[in-house]
Structure 1
């Protein structure tokens, strides 16, 4: 078991002392060992301090994945600061909202996104030469590499990630060293599930965007264990295939849609994936046909991860042994809590519900966020005095302690006084061979209050009949849950973690 006082920066210091030449990160041909990484992070810390940053200040990053993001982040940790990676896919007004909310003293920005930071009162650094802005590398290297050791405490904030904003404005979830490291640090390694264990011999692919917990969090898992991380700007299936083979990557995290792209790539069938131990995925359940395809093409273990920004990522996992290519009830679930994570299913009054009954999933663990930045009321609504965090997800637990996700509480449809969870309807329609993707929403209805509508992405070459899909659903779920109408689209709007943005669909359909 690791010391509970061993925060992010101290992990890097430890690896730099014991394995300075071991490779920490590789990015587009550039290799950085743990010793050099640690020294560069110290230079960043000194540069931020010289720029006038004080403990607790925010510094932002607006760009795609790069190795220097992690140096910037750990440098900020060494200076006692909080890093805010911002979603570069957002529209300029959305970026402006986040920057105005977190009030960063320094922003590290890729040149293509400079138009998003105009009017912000901060020192603007650029990753590559652009105008008269200071360039990150010479700005960093102008400082000494003496470590300032100004780290925040184990419970101090080190990362601030903004929620996806599926309803209302995004909120900045503050994550501490404990949030990011505590679940692993509190449990002996041998008590962790095998798929969740890491070692210094692992090689990981850091392909998910760093503005999301699946990107920054996956990077943390890599660095805290002294493993090697291969950083890619964006997910590109052809590039990913090349990197998997070239570096013998052992661990990778993807959303199911990215996994399908990877498996469908013509070169995948000819690739030897024997070095790959585990593919972790999240954002949504893996369709059975995709699991079968992935097992046939790749052949490694698969683990579903459930978590959220407010829980610093994964708190529940469906292990490889529960991934049955023939299908099983557990394949429809999200798995079992990790060691040290407590989960309850509660009703609207916070009372525990028995196995099999749907309620809200609430969790307590060291991974829970500190709270929302400058949002004490929103924090109090989400985390109670005993540390139980309301996920906003509806779900249920079976007698064996496996969790099943029903839906987001706010996405529940009330039709004729009956509660309908979209995920249940979607699961019924997913099983139809002509359905590649589906989302279910409630739309205004003069008779029922809300009516169930399905938006379907047809399978390649298929032209499904709406009436046939409705009949298919009625055979598998209660008639009142079946869609009243079916529309077709080429794709569904999703956030970076792969979750369907039902809010946008509801707006489209009034």
Structure 2
């Protein structure tokens, strides 16, 4: 069993034991663990001087940076909670989150300050110098370096991430030290799958946005283990390829769409990536052609990670050994639960379903959130008294524990008494060579109750016919699942996190 240290205790230990080792690298600046520890204390003392209550939120509206991790570590040391805000949001959405979390301090990139409408009531610091405004670094460096030792406990909230809000206003998921660290603290290192194991020799690239758990969590895993985290302001394939080689990155977390952009970069095929050990991906399954291309270029192990904001990220995974360059059935799954995680597939009444039947995924894990900030009713609807978190994902589980996602429960289509999951239909259609993107919804139908409709974005210059899309799908899935109609659009509505807003599409046809 691992030692149950808090995030703050991990940082202190690394500063003591390997203070000269690099903790963060960002745009030419290298920050050692000793320096990160001192800066965390400075931030903490500055926050405590504001005389705000323990548990107050500290908001960050900016792109990825080393400063974000300094502020987060300092907020923890002050007994406060880091709350990054999605910088892609519109001003009213940003205003909603700031009004909801009521931060004691907001740190913002200067180019994003114009989105603060109305202006927040808390003090505001700028990450970089601008014509107007106080600079975060000046404020930090004016504080004492003495450690205030005002950390919270293992069950106290350390990070608050806002959910995507596909059906309404986002909720603030409260993640404790247990949520963020518990999967490794509750099992021995030997029990963890190899792709999930970290050490101080690892070098991780933090390329996913820090307002997602894939960004903040990935960076934290590096800091937890005394590893080196190379932070990228935002994803750029040319810059990422440079950093992979320059820092000999061993671990990379990326979404498949970004991986394809990297693979298609003209420099990728001519670069030696033998130092890279594991590419972890999430958000969607990896297409076989992309896996084949990526293995040829990078030659490392690939692991799919499944999780959500409310589970502090990854709670299940498909290991490298389950990936086959020729393809296999298990590559259609998200893998199996990590040690210490329980997964059940439940029916509408909460009964456990047998292997092979589709129901809702429920998770009981040390990494589950403490709840939604200020939303006890929503929390109770999501996590029951026994600690089972209802994900809203529909899936089946096979006899070996591999979980195969179907779709979101709320997006399920009932046509002629049969359940159809849009993701399954989309997977069949997206393989068509003239289809660039697709979303599937149910539309009212006098005969079937609901009929399956596909909204297709053609590849550039292509003009596919609805009949050929329908015929293509019918060859790959059951006829009742195939679309009854196909419409074409130039793009699909998405939220700031990139998820297709099927709700918006349904509204267009209702």
- Normalising by structure 1, report the TM-score: 0.97
| Aligned pairs for 1:155-166 within 5 A | 155-166=155-166
Q: Is the 8 A contact 2:466 2:485 kept in 1?
A: yes
Q: Is the 8 A contact 1:255 1:498 kept in 2?
A: no
Q: Is the 8 A contact 1:284 1:499 kept in 2?
A: no
2:67 alignment partner in structure 1? 68
Quickly say closer, same or farther: Cα 1:368–1:66, change in 2 above 3 A.
same
Query: Residue 334 of structure 1 aligns to a residue in which SS?
Result: coil
Q: Is the 8 A contact 1:53 1:105 kept in 2?
A: yes
Distance in 2 between the 1:91 and 1:397 partners?
Answer: 39
Correspondence 1:233 to 2:207: no
Greater displacement, 290-299 / 227-236: 290-299
Distance in 1 between the 2:463 and 2:414 partners?
Answer: 30
- Structure 1 residue 508 displacement after superposition: 4.4
Distance in 1 between the 2:424 and 2:132 partners?
Answer: 55
Query: Residue 99 of structure 1 aligns to a residue in which SS?
Result: helix
- Structure 1 residue 177 displacement after superposition: 0.3
| Aligned pairs for 1:296-315 within 5 A | 296-315=296-315
Correspondence 1:340 to 2:340: yes
Query: Residue 211 of structure 1 aligns to a residue in which SS?
Result: coil
Query: Residue 473 of structure 1 aligns to a residue in which SS?
Result: helix
Query: Residue 134 of structure 2 aligns to a residue in which SS?
Result: coil
Q: Is the 8 A contact 2:164 2:497 kept in 1?
A: no
Correspondence 1:367 to 2:338: no
Distance in 2 between the 1:400 and 1:507 partners?
Answer: 40
1:506 alignment partner in structure 2? 506
- Structure 1 residue 414 displacement after superposition: 1.9
Q: Is the 8 A contact 2:88 2:496 kept in 1?
A: no
1:17 alignment partner in structure 2? 16
Quickly say closer, same or farther: Cα 1:251–1:490, change in 2 above 3 A.
farther
Distance in 2 between the 1:169 and 1:86 partners?
Answer: 14
CA shift digits 1:7-42 (9 cap, x unpaired): 111111110000000000000000000000000000
Distance in 2 between the 1:490 and 1:86 partners?
Answer: 29
Distance in 1 between the 2:123 and 2:291 partners?
Answer: 47
2:76 alignment partner in structure 1? 77
Distance in 2 between the 1:272 and 1:495 partners?
Answer: 37
1:432 alignment partner in structure 2? 432
Q: Is the 8 A contact 1:76 1:83 kept in 2?
A: yes
Distance in 2 between the 1:337 and 1:394 partners?
Answer: 16
Distance in 2 between the 1:404 and 1:161 partners?
Answer: 26
Q: Is the 8 A contact 1:283 1:499 kept in 2?
A: no
1:186 alignment partner in structure 2? 186
- Structure 1 residue 431 displacement after superposition: 3.5
- Structure 1 residue 231 displacement after superposition: 0.5
CA shift digits 1:320-340 (9 cap, x unpaired): 111112121111110000000
Q: Is the 8 A contact 2:64 2:209 kept in 1?
A: yes
Q: Is the 8 A contact 1:212 1:496 kept in 2?
A: no
Distance in 2 between the 1:249 and 1:498 partners?
Answer: 26
- Structure 1 residue 52 displacement after superposition: 2.1
1:89 alignment partner in structure 2? 88
| Aligned pairs for 1:124-139 within 5 A | 124-139=124-139
Structure 1: stretches of 5+ with no match in the other structure: none
Distance in 1 between the 2:508 and 2:476 partners?
Answer: 28
Quickly say closer, same or farther: Cα 1:15–1:495, change in 2 above 3 A.
farther
Q: Is the 8 A contact 2:457 2:492 kept in 1?
A: yes
Distance in 2 between the 1:318 and 1:451 partners?
Answer: 33
2:449 alignment partner in structure 1? 449
Q: Is the 8 A contact 2:441 2:452 kept in 1?
A: yes
CA shift digits 1:465-491 (9 cap, x unpaired): 321121121222222211112233454
Query: Residue 305 of structure 1 aligns to a residue in which SS?
Result: strand
Query: Residue 180 of structure 1 aligns to a residue in which SS?
Result: helix
1:168 alignment partner in structure 2? 168
Distance in 2 between the 1:214 and 1:508 partners?
Answer: 32
Q: Is the 8 A contact 1:205 1:231 kept in 2?
A: yes
Q: Is the 8 A contact 2:156 2:177 kept in 1?
A: yes
Q: How many residues align?
A: 509
2:46 alignment partner in structure 1? 47
Greater displacement, 456-465 / 42-51: 456-465
Greater displacement, 139-148 / 486-495: 486-495
Query: Residue 355 of structure 2 aligns to a residue in which SS?
Result: coil
Greater displacement, 281-290 / 175-184: 281-290
Quickly say closer, same or farther: Cα 1:492–1:196, change in 2 above 3 A.
farther
Correspondence 1:277 to 2:277: yes
1:376 alignment partner in structure 2? 376
Q: Is the 8 A contact 1:312 1:368 kept in 2?
A: yes
Quickly say closer, same or farther: Cα 1:321–1:493, change in 2 above 3 A.
farther
Quickly say closer, same or farther: Cα 1:494–1:22, change in 2 above 3 A.
farther
Structure 2: stretches of 5+ with no match in the other structure: none
Distance in 2 between the 1:81 and 1:509 partners?
Answer: 46
1:57 alignment partner in structure 2? 56
Query: Residue 452 of structure 1 aligns to a residue in which SS?
Result: strand
Greater displacement, 110-119 / 495-504: 495-504
Distance in 2 between the 1:509 and 1:273 partners?
Answer: 48
CA shift digits 1:110-161 (9 cap, x unpaired): 1112123343210111111235422101100111111111111100101000
Distance in 2 between the 1:507 and 1:112 partners?
Answer: 34
- Structure 1 residue 446 displacement after superposition: 4.0
Distance in 2 between the 1:437 and 1:262 partners?
Answer: 19
Q: Is the 8 A contact 1:2 1:185 kept in 2?
A: yes
Distance in 2 between the 1:469 and 1:25 partners?
Answer: 48
